[in-house]
Structure 1
Amino acid sequence: MFYDRKKMLNLGLIILATAVAAGPAIAVAQRKSPGGLTGEARLHPGSSANQRASRNMRHARDYSRDIYQYSQTPRSIQPSVAKSEAEELGRNIASAQKELTVVREEVGSNPAAAAPLKSIDQHLAAAEKQHAMLFEECCKESVDGLTCMKHCNQILLELDKAQAEHDALMRSMDIKEKAAE
Structure 2
Amino acid sequence: MSTKHVGKLLLGLAVMFAATSLVPQPVLAQSKIRSPVERRQDPGGGFWANQRASRNIQHARNYSQSIQRYATQAPVIRPQVTQAESQLLGNQIQSIQREMVVIRDQNASSPQVVEQVKAIESKLSKVADTQEMLHAECCKDSPDGKVCGDISKKITAALDQIVKDHAKLMKTMGHEDAAHDAMKHDHSTTEGETPAKSGE
Both proteins in one fold, TM over 0.5: yes
Partner of 2:123: 123
CA contact (8 A) 1:113 1:169 kept: yes
Displacement over 6 Å in runs of 4+: none
Aligned pair count reads 139
RMSD of equivalent CA atoms? 2.1
Cα distance per residue 1:8-58 (max 9 Å; x no partner): xxxxxxxxxxxxxxxxxxxxxxxxx622629xxx9xx95101111111111
**What is the correspondence of 1:1-181 to structure 2 with a 5 Å cutoff?**
34-35=37-38, 37=40, 46-174=46-174
Secondary structure of 2:173's counterpart equals helix
Distance in 1 of aligned mates of 2:82 and 2:138: 6
Secondary structure of 2:94's counterpart equals helix
Structure 1: gaps of 5 or more residues? 1-32, 177-181
Normalising by structure 1, report the TM-score: 0.71
One-letter amino acid of the counterpart of residue 52, structure 1: R
Cα distance per residue 1:91-137 (max 9 Å; x no partner): 00000000110111111131111221111011111110110000000
CA contact (8 A) 2:46 2:103 kept: no
Distance in 2 of aligned mates of 1:104 and 1:155: 23
Distance in 2 of aligned mates of 1:168 and 1:119: 12
Distance in 2 of aligned mates of 1:143 and 1:166: 33
Distance in 2 of aligned mates of 1:80 and 1:151: 18
Give the percent of matched residue pairs that are identical in Structure 1 and Structure 2: 36
Partner of 1:30: none
**Per-residue deviation at 1:83?**
0.4
